[in-house]
Structure 1
């Protein structure tokens, strides 16, 4: 798929291999590192309780024990990072199901009066809901909810293997299905690289942004229950620094207004500074510098992972401007890119 490289497929395949021979995690240990996302001390077993709607006075509450597993085949329950919520099935005046009880940590234990409830357990962005009926007579057996959840760690490179600073990367995870309006449902936004994202098993659409201009790649990622995978996307982009100089290697001229246009004439970035630094997707661009009452310009090409400085001379103009002959700048009025003030 466009935007996903061989490095992604290799990372995914390697992360799906488990067993001592490969030195990878055992399936039961796959999520031990999740504690880094929730390092707070365990919360009390019962955080909140309110009588469910319709509870009759004198009803004898029953002890209800709950635990969650990543997969049905797991022998051990998840020990931390869970959020439990118990709801009454009868909607309140606001149309929402009233919250009866909640708990955070690992397994949970509640005292519930006989009746029907909805029990929800969340593990990051993964979760499952089960209907629970508390009988009037007899004990209630332990309730085990299967999350059918996995996890993914996202990262990206420039080109095939050039590392990208974490502060310049951001990921968003969307559902794989496209709605009638042509959009996808957002699952989680603003994910930082090398962060574990807990998700229900399934296919997700991941969008990676490098910088804040136009370096964006997309990929579909498969999350498997009980497994933690690593996915590395490849950006065909590089960091560019623009500066207006009077001579090659000269000092950058302050108070310069910058516009960067694509070959089609679309403005992708504007700023005012002596140095204008940005990340641009691979391709051809036109840099336009405004300083006082003069305008200067230079065409340049961006190649993946090749960070560079682009000097715009205050006298010389680029030899090949045919590529941008149709480009226009709009700053109070249209100015043809071929009209350069000397």
Structure 2
């Protein structure tokens, strides 16, 4: 290796000594040479780009898209999903998706022309037509949106376990059949749902039987609306026992009836645990072809065990 380095210095000295021109030296290096048996490759040359812009963006227009909750609101810095569509429908009748991005403000490089831009923020969204030209520009989409955060309590301010509470958000207006369009199902308590400003119909469900509260809630643009509803209900555990406080009898079929005689819930097992709205009920238990019945009352916020005693509640199926 020392010999190679020495030869390189000798070559440089020879070029300087004999007054080699810059062009001759360039040709020498580009063509490559051999020194002490070591082949040195030539350097390939290339034409510099005619433009300082990246090759992939030449001929494209630059547009920066930003989103606001309201006309005078602050720029949204995260959570936006951008989709850019061609305004001309394809053969399938749908608008072709040209580009997309997620986050806050986003910059797109597009062919000059007209486009439809859709910005979605949670379940709020807005569409705007833009025109892209040769010069850079910024387009702003106003979502006219706000947020909704929901919670529920029991009578007296008692907390409801999150796992037994959920909300569904519907449009306020009904269709010709009296139905409402579902916007957000199974929303967990204290979750912020982003929505267009307007009125919404909210259904709060405690458990999965009949403890349901309905209310209309208004969402204002640029604001977070927090709403808490009160459930008048309680948790009930049904048991068929031979004596008070005794062991629950397995393989029991349960039917819970409202005070009007309508079936509220059917289940099978030694225990039947459920949440019921306050009111009067009757429970029918069947075990080994024998039927047992008892009336009970649900008081809001007061959880209870309802024991059906065989000795007190037995009825004769043949008598029905």
Please give the TM-score of this superposition, normalised by the length of structure 1.
Answer: 0.74
Number of positions where the alignment pairs a residue of Structure 1 with one of Structure 2: 264
Query: Is 2:128 the counterpart of 1:130?
Result: yes
> Residue 139 of structure 1 aligns to a residue in which SS?
coil
Mapped pair 1:85 → 2:83: yes
| Residues 23-47 of structure 1: per-residue CA shift (max 9 Å, x gap) | xxxxxxxxxxxxxxxxxxxxxxxxx
Matches within 5 A, 1:1-342: 60-74=59-73, 76-135=74-133, 138-317=134-313
Contact map agreement 2:154 2:230 (CA 8 A) in 1: yes
Residue pair 1:296, 1:314 contacting (<8 A) in 2 also: yes
Return structure 1 stretches of 4+ with deviation > 2 angstroms: 337-341
Measure the CA separation in 2 of the matches of 1:147 and 1:292: 63
Alignment partners' CA distance in 2, 1:93 and 1:285:
60
How far off is 1:148 after superposition?
1.1
- Pairwise CA distance, 1:301: 0.8
Shift of 1:298: 0.3
- What's the secondary structure of 2:209's corresponding residue? coil
- Do 1:296 and 1:340's aligned partners in 2 also have CA atoms closer than 8 Å? no
CA RMSD of the aligned region, Å? 2.0
Which digits, 9 at most, give the CA deviation of each residue in 1:190-239, with x for residues without a partner?
Answer: 10111110111111110111111111111111111111121111111110
Cα 1:117–1:310 change in 2 (3 A) is same
Give the Cα–Cα distance (whole angstroms) in 2 for the partners of residues 188 and 153 of structure 1: 12
Residue by residue, what CA displacement relative to the aligned partner does 1:123-166 show, whole Å, maximum 9, x if unpaired? 0001110011223xx52421011111111111111224111100
Q: Which runs of 5+ in 1 are unaligned?
A: 1-57, 319-336
SS of the residue 2:129 aligns to: strand
Give the helix-richer structure, 1 or 2.
2
Alpha-carbon distance in structure 2 between the residues aligned to 1:95 and 1:133? 22
Contact kept? 1:114, 1:134, Cα under 8 Å: yes
Aligned to 1:44: none
Q: TM-score, normalised by structure 2?
A: 0.79
CA distance in 1, matches of 2:316, 2:112: 80
CA contact (8 A) 2:62 2:132 kept: no
Whether the 8 Å CA contact 2:244–2:309 is kept in 1: the answer is yes
Post-superposition offset of 1:99: 0.6
Cα deviation digits, residues 224-281 of structure 1 (max 9, x gap): 1111121111111110000001111111111111110111211111111111100011
Structure 1 CA distance, aligned partners of 2:316 and 2:225?
51
Q: CA deviation at 1:317?
A: 3.0
User: Structure 1 pair 304/289, CA: closer, same or farther in 2 (3 Å)?
Assistant: same
Offset at residue 92 of structure 1 (A): 1.5
Take 2:155 and 2:316, find their aligned partners in 1: how far apart are those partners?
33
